[in-house]
Structure 1
């Protein structure tokens, strides 16, 4: 290549890089313009509830969060430790030690008495949520998602990988564990599992990886599968008639027919519904976006993190929103308009 050609090539590369940087700058400005310090959502009880001025609970890297059914206790995983937080006071209640590797999944039983924690140490631990006492160990293999059945008698677990980079193997499909005996009960499906959800009645179990399948929980019969894309999150509507799937595109499905009802123009890493079912929160990159499920109306956006992979939960009967990521946990408390 001649000197002249090298100069021309250098000029072209510089121009292209400049265009890319300019495009990213415009994108950042566009996103920043949409992110508000305050978002208001409708409420059956209060009319309009607004969220602003987040409280930073911790700056520790947080892998998983879950909230108790009464919305008052937050469990969070940091490395191999589980922290329990009182959301009414914003204070840490206690820390639970015992796992030998990263905490990879958390779930709280419907009666609010048992916390289940999974770890890359290949165990699921069961804890008394009130006292912090260890109730038992389930030798499950590596697990990355957990869900209690609505009657609290069964714990479902799954792993997003069957073979890990270090050669460790995880069981394929959804594993069902009897909480009374703490023993394996059954397996549903034979694929990796990134998300699990029971319908409100407990009659249907949804789970998936590259697609989402719905199963009759009692008989383990496959009802149908839907094209959710690479699954990141699942949540049923409060009446159990619709299912939200998170992926590169968030989608809404009819549970009865499996028909796609709506595709949202966003991807999401996590999903959460308010207790009254009126508002859906979707973790999108480092932001929390709010939507009305019945009308698909966009309500606003809050910045939860400067990192992606955000987790989101509602708490305190919908009067608080929680987000967690690599830079910690934030809580927005509501203001009634």
Structure 2
């Protein structure tokens, strides 16, 4: 099936389609935040910080579709029983896709914060979403209004279903909540720390984990039946094996622990390149585990032994700043390199490329999906405006941005960053002075 859509260059599409069978799957321009596998085990769907969802052929390693619709990171994906799949995003929207189509079949809107988790009811009739607006929602897939589940005090980070169709949610308020099928609060269990993940097994067992790096096993009445300490890094994703006997727990430290439910024993640990593992899923026959993480790869593992399937590239991704070793500006830029490239020929990442930034109007990189707020602004990026961005922070200087909030308090560090960007993005002089008149323009409407 060809990759379609004007947003994919011919070269990038070709590279995706020729990946060899059993190789680790590379295609995202940012960390792989979410994974789901279809019921026949043939396809995987991944969501990334680069705002894309990718459909993969697991046995071939080929990307079958690269889909760009969302105006933010794709934090959650789910495979639907009828062959469709869903993607949930930082932009608060949920898109329903049909394989082979480049635009969503349907868009579900209602959340006022990022969507963090998706789950499908056992009978396939309802899609549940968890979001940072403090709610979860139940969306009838046949159509109709969503039911809103309210009660969490803070971000709702994860959602799952019990075998009888009751939803289960977990949130930053350190609670696991069990709801009726109609969306009424029924059971609340308060745990010791903020929760990032929840999973339900076929026999109704509940697992929850989060900031304190401990996986806790709960009964349907909310009581704790056992716990497994993994430490030191927070657990950020959970996935039960198809037969319910094991739980895979992925951590921000870059490992995945395989836990035997009956004994609480850690059978083995999958060790990757040391970057966070954001997502984990099982093939339906239980033979393989699939992970996605900060190295931007989708990886396959033998679920019986923990051995990688295909080459396991242990080194971290190539250091884009190696040529600038020792430069203070390059060290300051390390906080940005995960989301932004310096040259136009690098693979796309979560943020727009910075190639040619000085003299460019805000929200002007072709093919990148900017927020409406940024498109409405009248700012030209110059050494002065970029410095001001990091002096006061993106939230104040460019309200409505999806850029993580960060400031550079040191004027010397801001100057070093400007000199580095001037040299590395378009060859301008290392003192940060532009060589054309438009790059010295400071927008008079920008904040003082």
Structure 1 residue 88 corresponds to structure 2 residue 59: yes
CA distance in 1 between partners of 2:192 and 2:167 (Å): 17
Q: Which runs of 5+ in 2 are unaligned?
A: 1-21, 306-448
CA distance in 2 between partners of 1:257 and 1:243 (Å): 10
Structure 1 residue 105 corresponds to structure 2 residue 72: no
Q: 1:276 aligns with which of 221, 243, 247?
A: 243
- The more displaced of 200-209 and 66-75 is 200-209
The 1:278–1:130 alpha-carbon spacing in structure 2 relative to 1, beyond 3 Å, is farther
Q: 2:121 aligns with which of 149, 156, 169?
A: 149
Q: Deviations over 1:19-52 (max 9, x none)?
A: xxxxxxxxxxxxxxxxxxxxxxxxxxxxxxxxxx
TM-score, length-scaled by structure 1: 0.73
Structure 1 residue 173 corresponds to structure 2 residue 173: no
Q: 1:258 aligns with which of 190, 214, 222?
A: 222
Q: Deviations over 1:81-102 (max 9, x none)?
A: 2110011222111122222332
Q: 1:233 aligns with which of 160, 180, 197?
A: 197
Q: 1:201 aligns with which of 164, 184, 190?
A: 164
Please report how far the alpha carbon of residue 316 of structure 1 lies from its aligned counterpart in structure 2 after TM superposition: 4.8
Please report how far the alpha carbon of residue 182 of structure 1 lies from its aligned counterpart in structure 2 after TM superposition: 5.3
Please report how far the alpha carbon of residue 59 of structure 1 lies from its aligned counterpart in structure 2 after TM superposition: 6.1
Name 1:302's counterpart in structure 2. 270
Native 8 Å contact 2:149 2:183 kept in 1 = no
Number of aligned positions between the proteins: 272
Name 2:16's counterpart in structure 1. none
RMSD: 2.4
Q: Flag the structure with more relative contact order, 1 or 2, with Cα contacts below 8 A and sequence separation at least 6.
A: 1
Q: Deviations over 1:172-229 (max 9, x none)?
A: 2212222222533333424320111111221343333222112222351322323152
The 1:206–1:335 alpha-carbon spacing in structure 2 relative to 1, beyond 3 Å, is closer
Q: 1:287 aligns with which of 239, 252, 255?
A: 255
CA distance in 2 between partners of 1:228 and 1:216 (Å): 24
Name 1:27's counterpart in structure 2. none
Q: 1:243 aligns with which of 195, 206, 212?
A: 206
Secondary structure of the 2:97 match is: strand
The 1:187–1:213 alpha-carbon spacing in structure 2 relative to 1, beyond 3 Å, is closer
Please report how far the alpha carbon of residue 130 of structure 1 lies from its aligned counterpart in structure 2 after TM superposition: 6.0
Structure 1 residue 183 corresponds to structure 2 residue 153: no
Secondary structure of the 1:288 match is: strand
Q: Deviations over 1:138-197 (max 9, x none)?
A: 22333122222222222222223xxxxxxxxx3x22122222225333334243201111
Native 8 Å contact 2:217 2:227 kept in 1 = no
Name 2:105's counterpart in structure 1. 135
CA distance in 2 between partners of 1:336 and 1:104 (Å): 28
The 1:256–1:81 alpha-carbon spacing in structure 2 relative to 1, beyond 3 Å, is closer
Q: 1:67 aligns with which of 28, 31, 37?
A: 37
Q: Which runs of 5+ in 1 are unaligned?
A: 1-53, 161-169
Native 8 Å contact 1:290 1:300 kept in 2 = yes
Native 8 Å contact 2:168 2:176 kept in 1 = no
Name 1:22's counterpart in structure 2. none
CA distance in 2 between partners of 1:335 and 1:71 (Å): 14
Secondary structure of the 1:218 match is: coil
**Higher-Rg member (1/2):** 2
Please report how far the alpha carbon of residue 230 of structure 1 lies from its aligned counterpart in structure 2 after TM superposition: 0.7
